[in-house]
Amino acid sequence: MPRDAAGDNDWVVEGEKRAPVRPHPSTPVPIVPDNRRKYARFQVASTQIVLHRDSLLSALNLGSNKARKVCDLSQDGARILVTEKLEISQKVRLKITLEKYRDQIEIGGEVRWCYPSTNRKDFFVGIKFNPENPVVARKMSALQEWFTSPQYHALRSRR
């Protein structure tokens, strides 16, 4: 039976059902993720932070604290509000105090990015951790698991 051009678009031809013709893409286009992070970010309430450039003075706990607050953490990094611009690749030492959990994390890291905040006085920095101590790495992993867990979110939503 001959088909005309109009009949090609019909789903039913003379009482017979026909599957629609689907176009086939020539080559699949990969979707590039916008987020290159390995681990999810999470926020921790009631934290204090001390950030120093990695040097002899920071090893002796001398020098001025450059940090204002922890914006968020992940297992391998942090976003921190600081008082001055830090250079990319700058080595830093962090001491994060989790007041509610009565715990501290001391870890080294490297500045990966630095952008001015909206007030133009402070800066947001991205720190990639260098967990040289396996105990600290396990602690960061445990924090990640707890603060991204459904149990934590259920408890938090009740408040």
Over residues 131-142, the mean pLDDT reads 85
Instruction: Give the tens place of pLDDT for each residue, 74-133.
Output: 888 999 999 999 999 999 999 999 888 888 999 999 999 999 999 889 999 999 998 778
Name the more confident of 63 and 11: 63
Task: List the domain boundaries for the chain.
Answer: 47-158
Q: Note the pLDDT of residue 144.
A: 86
Is the pLDDT at 23 greater than 80? The verdict is no
To which residue do tokens 């501290």 refer?
A: 104
Whole-angstrom Cα Rg for the chain: 26
Is the pLDDT at 147 greater than 60? The verdict is yes
CATH code of the region 47-158? 2.40.10.220
Q: In the numeric block, which tokens belong to residue 9?
A: 């678009």
Q: Note the pLDDT of residue 57.
A: 60
Q: Note the pLDDT of residue 140.
A: 87
**CA pseudo-torsion sign 39, 45, 46, 50:** positive
Instruction: Give the tens place of pLDDT for each residue, 29-81.
Output: 555 555 566 788 888 878 899 998 887 665 566 668 888 999 999 888 999 99
What average pLDDT does the chain have?
A: 79
Q: In the numeric block, which tokens belong to residue 128?
A: 């990639």
Measured torsion, CA atoms of residues 62, 63, 68, 69, in degrees rounded to the nearest 10 = -40
Nearest-angstrom CA–CA distance, 57 and 77: 23
Is the pLDDT at 12 greater than 60? The verdict is no
Q: Note the pLDDT of residue 16.
A: 63
CA-based max dimension of the chain: 91
